[in-house]
Amino acid sequence: MAKKFTDEERLALAAKLDKELDDFIDGLEKRPYTEGWPEDRWQEEMEKHPFFMKKMPEAGEPLDPLMEGLQQLKYDPNENTPEELANAYKDDGNFNFKHGNYRLAIIAYTEGLKIKCENAETNATLYNNRAAAHFFLKNYRSSLHDCKWALRLKPNYRKTLGRAAKCCLETRQFDQGIEYCDLLLGGDRTPEIVRLRQTIVNERKRQEKDSRKARRGEDRKADARRELMKAIGAAGVAFEGDLRPVVPELAECAVHLNDGRLVWPVIFTYPEYQVMDFIQEFDEYDTFREHLDRVFEESPAWDAESKYKVADLHVYLESSGKLQRFDIDSKLRDVLKCKGLLVKGGTPSFIILVGNSPAELAFLSRYK
Amino acid sequence: MAEALKELVGFLHNEKRPDLQILALDSILATTGTTEGIDLILKDDVIVKNLINLLRSPSLSVKRTSASALVNLSAYGDGPGTLLGAEENSLAVVLVEGITDPDCEVADLFCMILSNITRTEDCALVVIGLIDLETIVNIVTKVKFNNKANNLHYLGVVLSNLSRHKVVRDAIVETSIQKLLPFTEFDGSVVKRGGIVGTIRNCCFDIERHGWLLSDEVDILPRLLLPLADGTEFSDDEYENMPLELQYLPNDKRREEDPDIRCMLIESITQLCTLRANREIVRSRNAYLILRELHKWEKDRKVLLACENLVDILIRTETEIGKDNIKDAEVPDDLTNVFSKMDKDFLDN
């Protein structure tokens, strides 16, 4: 039995209820609204929302929870068949690929392949697409590897064959590249492939030519070396060890033949001042005097007292602990063939002293 | 002798006694050792028919002996026509079947018979009608096609014989000349190399193909020059314009050993020099240098003459030649005779 309200009573009740609600709301704990997007950064938040985002999150970037949820739904093995999953990853990869995110695309295709779904076509596409992504990153070896897998699953995959041929060109596996081209050209003589084959064939020819040229160079070096050895033997020079000079100043001046004459690098040492001169090219028919004239044309800084006059100089050579003196007008050729003389480090070395100076006497006394 | 042959025929039929068949075949084979014997056999339709039929015998010895007899018969005078005409070309059919069967044990003998038969242009034409040329080219260019130790080298000669017909040259130039070219350096057999170089030479006779043959896609010139080159060293500048294949050849590089093949290679290049634009290509790639060195070394007068003819074209300027097609250059008949006589004297001396 309902009570009949008058208008006044009804208004009074409404006012009372309003007040109660207001009181209730006022009675709630006062908390600021924090879950909304801050006004100054709403665009950024919008970007994060999976419905509005304009670019894919970078690998490793924390995911928006909503995105994570959606992803779980999309990639959940319980919700999808392996083939759907593989295709989902493929679409993902393709999306990244289109936006130039080749690395992300590779990750997606790899995930797709990990599913090991049973559809050869899908797997071939995954391999092929990953090969394409690798190709754009210039990872030609990885790309070729993926092409081979794709071709194992789908032997006449034209796109893959073409890419495989290009990878072979880049990695200089010319024979195989030509095989891929020929497989393609067996079906259809696409001008692009005809040109590609031509390029590979030419590169192969060039490589063969370069290696023949290199071989010729090596042969020539070996011939020169044999000739040099023969000349040294004929000149009666005994030497020990490598013929390449150890002294950096003479490193490029190893003994060589010039017009059938041996040209040696030579060291003059001046024990009195502990300095040396490096003669880069000492023709075996030159005399010591010719080279010493050149060295002392201007008095060197270390010869402060100007004692070193060519006419006064004595030339010595030390071999097996013995000192031997040579005439300043001897030719190098005649000196080097002396018995018991051994050239070390490919560089004959002579000791130069001022004749009858105290320094010479002191030096000679060491060998008494 | 003719009577004796008649008696042998009876044994040829007896499939149950292959031993008797072989005895009879041995006698026939011996008879094919002389031209008189060959004449006798070729006149005897029955023996010819039997020999051809025995190529399908289940006994390997029977097959081999009858094939050997047919090699001799086909090598001589009218042999090709007579053998091919017998039994509606059945010989050519058996031969082609055997050659294209990887398990045929007598394929090499078959190739020899076929190379003999295709020597005459008419017989070659009959064979062309019975084969799939692409299959033949594929077999020729395959390293090892036959599983029973037959090398099929004479198939190269067959191809060369067939290529005297334009229909064959057209098919080869359009589809498979690139596959044949590497065989100018094939060192496994002078027979096969000669056959393939002969085929290539024949293909060079069609002027309208010269541009294609010299294009990057076929690039025939280096393949013709390489066998003519040895390891002679040239300067870097001289190498620069040569085809890459000819640059910096090793010291131990040897020239083609067979003078006939050298001659065919030179003739091929000479053919390619018929038109001005192509002569200019050959000149621009320094072919002259290879020929100059060959000429210094060459002893065979026929090759020397071929070489001089080609060099003569290459060293003349286009103003001196004055014609697009060098064959249009007018040489009066009396001079032609003088030149022919000079060539002949040169060869005879």
CATH of residue A345? 3.10.20.90
Q: Does B236 touch chain A (CB under 8 A)?
A: no
* The pLDDT value given to residue A285: 93
Residue A167 and residue A83 share a domain:
yes
Q: Would you say residue A1 has pLDDT above 60? A: no
Q: Which has the closest alpha carbon to A321: A353, A268, A367, A267? A: A367
Distances (CA, A) of A57 to A67, A68, A99, A319, B148: 10, 11, 12, 78, 65
What average pLDDT does this structure show over A223-252?
Answer: 88
Nearest CB to B247 within list A209, A215, A219? A209
Of A206, A209, A219, the CB nearest to B251: A219
Work out how many domains chain A is built from and give that number: 2
Q: Which residues of A touch B244 (CB under 8 A)?
A: 202, 205-206, 208-209
- Residues near A170 by Cβ (< 8 Å), separated by ≥ 6? A138, A140
User: What pLDDT score was predicted for residue A24?
Assistant: 86
pTM of structure: 0.73
Which of B270, B139, B115 shows the shortest CA–CA distance to B194?
B115
- State chain A's mean pLDDT as an integer: 87
- A–B interface: beta-carbon pairs under 8 A: 27
The Cα A166–Cα A178 span in angstroms is 10
Question: What is the structure's pLDDT at B41?
Answer: 83
Show the 3-state SS of chain B.
CHHHHHHHHHHHHCCCCHHHHHHHHHHHHHHCCCHHHHHHHHHCHHHHHHHHHHCCCCCHHHHHHHHHHHHHHHCCCCHHHHHHHCCCCHHHHHHHHHHCCCCCCCHHHHHHHHHHHCCCHHHHHHHHHHCCHHHHHHHHHCCCCCCCCCCCCHHHHHHHHHCCCHHHHHHHHHHHHHHHHHHHHCCCCHHHHHHHHHHHHHHCCCHHHHHHHHCCCCCHHHHHHHHHCCCCCCCHHHHHHCCHHHCCCCCCCCCCCCHHHHHHHHHHHHHHCCEHHHHHHHHHCCHHHHHHHHHHHCCCHHHHHHHHHHHHHHHCCHHHHCCCEHHHCCCCHHHHHHHHHHHHHHHHC
Q: How far B246 CA lies from chain A's nearest CA (Å)?
A: 8
Given this model, what pLDDT does residue A56 score? 65
Q: What is the pLDDT of residues A11-62, one digit of tens each?
A: 999 999 999 999 888 888 777 676 677 777 777 777 777 667 766 666 666 6
- Using a CB–CB cutoff of 8 Å, tell me whether A220 touches chain B: no
Mutate which of B242, B248, B252, B253 to test chain A, going by most A C-beta atoms within 10 A?
B248
What digits encode the pLDDT tens for the residues B104-117? 999 999 999 999 99
Query: Percentage of chain B with pLDDT > 90?
Result: 50
Q: What mean pLDDT comes out for the span A272-280?
A: 91
Q: Reply yes or no on whether the pLDDT at B306 is more than 90.
A: yes
Dmax over CA atoms of chain A, in Å, equals 151
In the predicted structure, residue B203 carries a pLDDT above the cut 90: yes
Are residues A196 and A303 located together in one domain of the fold? Answer: no
Q: Which residue, chain included where needed, has tokens 């359009």? A: B174
Give the lowest-confidence range in A208-212, A237-241, B9-13, B226-230.
B9-13
- CB-CB neighbors (< 8 A) of B250 in chain A: 212, 215-216
Residue A89 belongs to some domain of the structure? yes
Give the pLDDT confidence of B230-251 residue by residue, as tens digits: 999 999 999 989 999 999 999 8
- pLDDT (mean) for B333-346: 75
Average pLDDT of the segment spanning B47-62: 86
Choose between A28 and A89: higher pLDDT: A89
What's residue A247's pLDDT? Answer: 85
| pLDDT over 70 at A258, yes or no | yes
> Is B217's CB within 8 Å of A215's CB?
no
pLDDT at A181 over 80: yes
Is residue A3 scored above 70 in pLDDT? no
Name residue A262's beta-bridge partners. A257
Range in A70-79, B43-52, B165-174, B319-328 with the lowest mean pLDDT: A70-79
Partners of A234 in the beta sheet?
none
- Residue A259 is part of which domain span? 248-365
> Given a cut of 90, is residue B11 above it in pLDDT?
no
Based on the domain organization, do A360 and A253 belong to the same domain? Answer: yes
Q: What is the torsion angle, in degrees rounded to the nearest 10, for the CA atoms of residue B256, residue B261, residue B264 and residue B265?
A: -20
Q: Is the pLDDT of residue B330 over 80?
A: no
Residue A242 tokens read as 């490598």
Output B81 or A24, whichever has higher pLDDT: A24
pLDDT at A107: 93
Chain A interface, best mutation among B175, B216, B223, B244, by max A CB count within 10 A: B244
Report pLDDT for B210. 94
Average pLDDT over every residue of B62-80: 86
Is residue A49 included in any domain, yes or no? no
What are the domain boundaries of chain B?
1-87, 206-348
A 163-202 → B contacts, CB under 8 A: 194, 198, 202
Q: Are residues A79 and A197 in the same domain?
A: yes
Pick from A240-254, B125-139, B259-273 the range whose average pLDDT is largest: B259-273
Neighbours of A150 (CB within 10 A): 27
Q: Which CATH number fits the domain B1-87, given the four candidates 1.10.540.10, 1.20.1290.10, 2.30.40.10, 1.25.10.10?
A: 1.25.10.10
Name which of A194, A198, A216 is nearest B248 (Cβ-Cβ). Answer: A216
The full 3-state SS of B38-90, as one line of letters, equals HHHHHHCHHHHHHHHHHCCCCCHHHHHHHHHHHHHHHCCCCHHHHHHHCCCCH
pLDDT higher for B332 or B295?
Answer: B295
Tell me the β-bridge partners of A258. A261
Confidence (pLDDT) at B319: 82
- A215 to chain B: nearest residue by CA? B250
Q: Percent of chain B scored above 70 by pLDDT?
A: 95
pLDDT at A172: 94
Is residue B251 within 8 angstroms of chain A, CB to CB?
yes
Report pLDDT for A338: 83
Q: How far is A181 from chain B (nearest CA, A)?
A: 13
Percent of chain A residues topping a pLDDT of 70: 92
Which one is predicted more confidently, B37 or B292? B292
> Which stretch of A60-69, A259-268, B260-269 has the lowest confidence by average pLDDT?
A60-69
- Out of A167, A188, A203, a domain closes at A203
A167 CA: distance to closest CA in chain B (Å): 21
Cβ contacts of residue A98 below 8 Å, gap of 6+?
none
- Please report residues of B whose CB lies closer than 8 A to that of A215: 248, 250
| Residue A98 is assigned to a structural domain of this protein | yes
Closest of A164, A165, A236, A241 to residue A198, by C-alpha: A165
Q: How far is CA B85 from the centre of its chain?
A: 23
Is A41 part of a structural domain of the chain?
no
Q: Mind telling me how many Å the CA of B107 is from chain A's nearest CA?
A: 28
In a domain, A183, yes or no: yes
Name the B residues in 68-97 with CB < 8 Å from any A CB. Answer: none
pLDDT value of residue B327: 81
Kindly tell me if the per-residue pLDDT of B212 is higher than 90. Answer: yes
pLDDT band at B58 (very low <50, low <70, confident <90, very high): confident
d(CA B170, CA A133): 44
Residue of A198, A212, A218, A219 to mutate when probing chain B, most B C-beta within 10 A: A212
Q: Let me know whether A88 and A168 are in one domain.
A: yes
CB contact B249 to A (< 8 Å): yes
| End-to-end alpha carbon distance in chain A | 148
Q: In this structure, is residue A243 part of a structural domain? A: no
By the CB < 8 Å criterion, does B216 face chain A?
Answer: yes
At residue A286 the predicted structure's pLDDT band, cuts being 50, 70 and 90, is very high
User: Is the CB of residue B230 less than 8 Å away from at least one CB of chain A?
Assistant: no
